[in-house]
Structure 1
Amino acid sequence: MINVVVPLTLPAKETEDTGHAEPRPFIPVSGRPLVQHVVDNIRPSFEHQFIYVVDPEVMTMHRRRSLGISSDSQVVYSWSAPRTMAAAVCMARESINMSEPLVIAACEQYIDVDLDRFYIAGMDVGADAAVLTFPGDRTPKYSTSMIYKNRVVEMSEHRVISEMANAGVYYFKDGQTFFDAAVEALTKTHAADSALTMSGIFNTLIEAGSNIVPCPLPEGVFKPLHTSIDLSLFAARTDLQVQRAA
């Protein structure tokens, strides 16, 4: 079984004025909360468990229902305020099986392909970890990965080191791999200003000689959901697909 952790506690870095008071994951898009679109997009076709890390102060009963909580999901309440995705995942440690594959996904992107290929690729090639990448625009808007001979050899959070940006979806062969690297990263300079980042965790694994595999996406497949313009474009595209299917 794959554990899929979706942190919903992080502030919207770049969401412009959307006209909504809702936190970004719960902004309605084409009649559904944004988080439902993202979760349906990243949902594996095989056995899995979703783990949502949420801020209890904003998790109203309505918003909890909008997550579509079912037997294959858990909600973890974080009373602290994690500054990063990696830190938010650490809040869910008790809910994550240490011996099963772990996927971590942001709630600010839509990947227009079947992501089963990504999950299966990570398992089939025996990777310790993997990251979805896409052709970026060489701005520090996204973290980036330097790739050499089909291996990730460095990852950077705020410094552009390559044309391959990270798409916000990460794979680890098991939960233990993530948490061991997280502890190690916090003892090193990778955790700049005591902030635990995905880049710091991946760089810790790279330095240990782990097999880190990139999974490059074709041009145009990655759809950002950061700004009001992004959300409007996504809504228009979704509405068009619904009309065509009708």
Structure 2
Amino acid sequence: MINILVPMAGKSYFFDDKQDGFPKPFIEICGKTMLEHFILNYQNIDNKRFIFIIQDDENRKFGLEDAINVLTNNKSQVLVLKNQTAGMACSALMATEFIDNDTPLIIANMDQIFELDLNLDIERLSNFDAGVLSFENIHPRFSYIKCDEFDNIVQASEKKQISKNAIAGFYYFKKGSDFILAAKNMIKKDINLDGKFYVAPVLNELILQGKVVKNLQIDKDRYFTFYSHAKISEYERIKND
């Protein structure tokens, strides 16, 4: 089995429930909600378990957990948080009881899709202790990695362009327990950005432990992020041409 952890409890700078009418997972793109697009993107991965981390207020008002259960045939674990956490890494640690084990773990952003064979990429990453998918970019919104000549990651940074390798919101860990230990070490060292603890710097802790962390470079035209209304409109124009 592989656990796919999807932290969705953070606030978005580009979406507002009052203006949009619905929270980000229910924003429609080409006739389907963002949540549907995400789940469909992983439909060919067998023996998986989604673990969604959601906000209590969105759940009570819009039935987010019900929608997740319908879309995944009640086969997902849903954790409902009443309060904001100190970043995505902290949100992920709320699922410790489900991921602190030898089972492979993917931590993925909900607001994106890949036009790739994810099974193939997961198989390639399974040969290493951890890894990411990356694409060429320099926008300060993303996390970045620096690699050696063998595409082994030697450094990761949140919102700092240490290379052109931007992380595509997809983190693989051969063992979920490796993520848990490394994330706790990062938090103990108080490695944060503006008071928030992110997933990318966790990779540095694994590297310090001597783990092999691999970068898989993907074609940026095969990766679509929906982090803003502008990016959604761009995707819809591409699909409607």
- Residue 13 of structure 1: CA displacement? 3.0
Q: Secondary structure at the match of 1:59?
A: helix
Normalised to the residue count of structure 1, the TM-score between the two structures is 0.88
Distance 1:139 1:232, change over 3 A: closer
Partner of 1:243: none
Distance 1:16 1:215, change over 3 A: farther
How far apart, in 2, do the equivalents of 1:230 and 1:94 lie?
35
Deviates more, 1:148-157 or 1:54-63: 54-63
Q: Secondary structure at the match of 2:145?
A: strand
Amino acid across the alignment from 1:29: I
Partner of 1:65: 66
- Residue 103 of structure 1: CA displacement? 0.4
Mapped contact 1:85–1:106 kept (Cα < 8 A): no
CA RMSD in angstroms comes to: 2.2
How far apart, in 1, do the equivalents of 2:98 and 2:49 lie?
10
Partner of 2:184: 183
Mapped contact 1:157–1:199 kept (Cα < 8 A): yes
Q: Secondary structure at the match of 2:220?
A: coil
Q: Secondary structure at the match of 1:119?
A: helix
Partner of 2:79: 76
Partner of 2:47: 47
Distance 1:154 1:128, change over 3 A: same
Q: Secondary structure at the match of 2:189?
A: coil
Distance 1:24 1:114, change over 3 A: same
Matches within 5 A, 1:85-164: 85-96=88-99, 98-123=101-126, 125=127, 127-136=128-137, 138-149=138-149, 150-164=151-165
How far apart, in 1, do the equivalents of 2:29 and 2:194 lie?
36
Deviates more, 1:184-193 or 1:207-216: 184-193
Does structure 1 residue 200 correspond to structure 2 residue 170?
Answer: no
Partner of 1:29: 29
Mapped contact 1:38–1:110 kept (Cα < 8 A): yes
How far apart, in 2, do the equivalents of 1:62 and 1:80 lie?
17
- Residue 54 of structure 1: CA displacement? 0.6
Aligned sequence identity (%): 26
Normalised to the residue count of structure 2, the TM-score between the two structures is 0.89
Structure 2 unaligned runs (5+)? Answer: none
- Residue 210 of structure 1: CA displacement? 0.9
Q: Secondary structure at the match of 1:199?
A: coil
Amino acid across the alignment from 2:136: P
Partner of 2:214: 213
Partner of 1:20: 20
- Residue 239 of structure 1: CA displacement? 5.9
How far apart, in 2, do the equivalents of 1:184 and 1:83 lie?
15
Q: Secondary structure at the match of 1:14?
A: coil
Mapped contact 1:16–1:227 kept (Cα < 8 A): no
How far apart, in 2, do the equivalents of 1:58 and 1:17 lie?
9
- Residue 44 of structure 1: CA displacement? 4.8
Mapped contact 1:132–1:169 kept (Cα < 8 A): yes
Number of equivalent positions:
237
